[in-house]
Amino acid sequence: MIRIPYILVKLGAVLAVLGLIGGCATQPIEQQGEVDDLPMVLESDKPAPIKFSHLKLLFPPGSDIGVQRAGYFCFKDEGALGRASIREALQEQYVKQAFNYALEGQGYKLTGSEAVMFDALDQDKAADYAIGAKLSALSLELCHKKGAGDFILGGVGRSEGQARMVIEWSIYDRLKRKVVLNVATEGFSARKLTQNEALSVLLLDAFEMAALNLSQDKSFYELIVRGILPANNQSIAGAGIVDERDRILDPQEQVRVERGDSEVKDFNDAVQRYDNAVVMIDKGARASGFMITHEGHILTSAKNVGDARQVRVIFPMNKGAGRAEVLRVDKRADIALIKLIGSAPIDAPVFRFKDRAINIGDRLYSLALGGRVKSEGLMLNKGIVSAISRNGLIVSDLELDNAERGSMIIDDHGALIGLNISASANAMQDRSISKDLSVIMPISMAFEVLNIAY
């Protein structure tokens, strides 16, 4: 039997203890201090929906990043970590989860989040803003340790480390199609972990802290919660209605409607002219709209799109369906402009507009993909002008249901008069409008509200 000297047994025990409880010989990184008066999202707030896009590393390929050591006392230099190791540790799905956890915990509304059931199946729920991140600076120290017990028992050992990173955030407004805010925040992490997961968890913790600091940035809060751009302190929603985001206009999109003055032969000729223009807006409940340009712009009611940034559009005559992006919305006027996505030029009609004053008793027709009387592939509903409201809206006895909200309204000569909008939305502003009657917004007023040239 081989006898091991007592001194070697004692030395092995000491080394094992040091290996299990020893710390890395790293320089401490000072943590960020607390900030007073941080903005907080309240339950009564209505933050715009946001979505994390991606994380980009601002380090060239082959870069050496951070320091890693090994040994009982972290004296052994293991060399620098490479960019590839950092990229592998920051896997996209885990980075997105860390971002969502940080922002949801502060009351922000995220799309595509695990906390929102069925969100991946809800194609109409799109984010107002996409958030991109750039890792521009990283200070990292990592020590891999194995005690004597790990060598004897085959343990994987453990790691200790600290990481501080700087994340440059870019907030992209999907409606304006441009970056509207840039913010830089720091994240810090110090952890003791098993060796296999050390680098990934350390970096993800630091990233989550950077995301948390973003949620508490005042300019970010003002933009997402209140709709105020930091540069000029102007509401992106306009009209002074910030929290409700009642009015959203996209100034980048120039929209012009082609106008025609040719007479129609008869009413049936007018109906055939508009046959391809009438569409159905499908956002859970179905409603109406109609195309006004060859580029695929569609006029409809704001209630038909709600807070969605994309909606499904069903074409007439069994011609299939497509998707449209919401460009302009005025919720108070109950009117919206949407545009088909990725569509070829469309054979939209050349409209003939009403060239004389609307009078009480004039006959009106509603054209929609939902109604009571079918003619030439369209659904028609007939009524007369009952009154003209004080704010210029047309009140009619047309019996229209929700499926016909947003429908095209023409006269018996085929001239375009306007579109049907919600009576309840406008009755609040004009007491002369009854909620039981149909309300029509004149086409000239609709174009003016949505900044459409014709």
Poorest-pLDDT segment among 4-13, 111-120, 247-256 = 4-13
What is the percent of the chain where pLDDT is above 90? Answer: 21
Poorest-pLDDT segment among 93-107, 143-157, 269-283, 305-319 = 143-157
pLDDT value for 342: 76
Q: How far is 285 from 108, CA to CA, in rounded Å?
A: 27
Q: Where does the pLDDT of residue 16 fall: very low under 50, low under 70, confident under 90, or very high at 90 and above?
A: very low
Summarised one tens digit per residue, pLDDT across range 341-356 is: 876 556 667 777 765 6
pLDDT value for 290: 92
Q: How far is 449 from 249, CA to CA, in rounded Å?
A: 10
Write phi, then psi, for 443 (nearest 5 degrees).
-60, -35
pLDDT value for 65: 78
Q: How far is 319 from 275, CA to CA, in rounded Å?
A: 12
Which residue's entry shows tokens 């200070």? 139
pLDDT value for 196: 63
Summarised one tens digit per residue, pLDDT across range 49-71 is: 899 999 999 887 767 777 777 77
Poorest-pLDDT segment among 34-43, 101-110, 281-290 = 34-43
More confident position, 185 or 24 = 185
Q: How far is 177 from 181, CA to CA, in rounded Å?
A: 12
Write phi, then psi, for 393 (nearest 5 degrees).
-80, 150
pTM of full prediction above 0.75: no
Summarised one tens digit per residue, pLDDT across range 234-264 is: 333 333 323 334 556 665 678 888 876 556 6
Summarised one tens digit per residue, pLDDT across range 175-223 is: 667 888 999 999 999 888 766 677 888 899 999 999 999 998 989 998 8
pLDDT at 320 over 70: yes
pLDDT value for 423: 61
Summarised one tens digit per residue, pLDDT across range 143-186 is: 877 655 554 444 556 788 889 999 999 999 876 678 889 999 99
- Boundaries of every domain in the chain: 40-226, 267-449
SS3 92: helix
Determine which helix (DSSP H) or strand (DSSP E) holds 142, and give its type and residue range. Answer: strand 129-145
Q: Give the closest residue to 446 by CA, choosing from 325, 309, 351.
A: 351
- Which pairs from 109-118 meet CB under 8 Å and 24+ separation? 109/47, 109/48, 109/49, 109/50, 110/49, 110/50, 110/51, 110/52, 111/49, 111/50, 111/51, 112/51, 112/52
Average pLDDT over residues 394-406: 85
Query: Interior CA angle at 188 toward 187 and 194, to 5°?
Result: 125
- Correct CATH for 40-226 of 3.40.50, 2.60.40, 3.30.1490, 3.30.750: 3.40.50
Residues 287, 301: contact at Cβ < 8 Å?
Answer: yes
Those residues with Cβ within 8 angstroms of residue 419's Cβ, 6 or more apart along the chain or in another chain: 290, 299, 300, 301, 335, 406, 407, 408, 409, 440, 441, 443, 446
pLDDT value for 238: 33
Q: Which residues are paired to 300 by β-bridges?
A: 289, 336
Q: Are strands 76-77 and 67-70 parallel, antiparallel or unpaired?
A: antiparallel
Using CA atoms, how far residue 357 sits from 68, 96, 360, in Å, is 81, 57, 10
Tokens representing 38 are: 């941080």
CATH architecture of 267-449: Beta Barrel (2.40)
Q: Where does the pLDDT of residue 83 fall: very low under 50, low under 70, confident under 90, or very high at 90 and above?
A: confident
pLDDT value for 2: 45
- The residue type of 231 is A
Length of the chain, in residues: 454
Tokens representing 411 are: 């006269």
Q: What mean pLDDT value characterizes the chain?
A: 75
The backbone region for 394, taken as left when phi is positive above 0, alpha when psi lies in -120 to 50, beta otherwise, is beta
Q: How far is 158 from 143, CA to CA, in rounded Å?
A: 8
pLDDT value for 345: 58
More confident position, 132 or 29 = 132
Q: How far is 257 from 23, CA to CA, in rounded Å?
A: 72
pLDDT value for 7: 45
Q: How many helices (H) and strands (E) does the chain have?
A: 10, 22
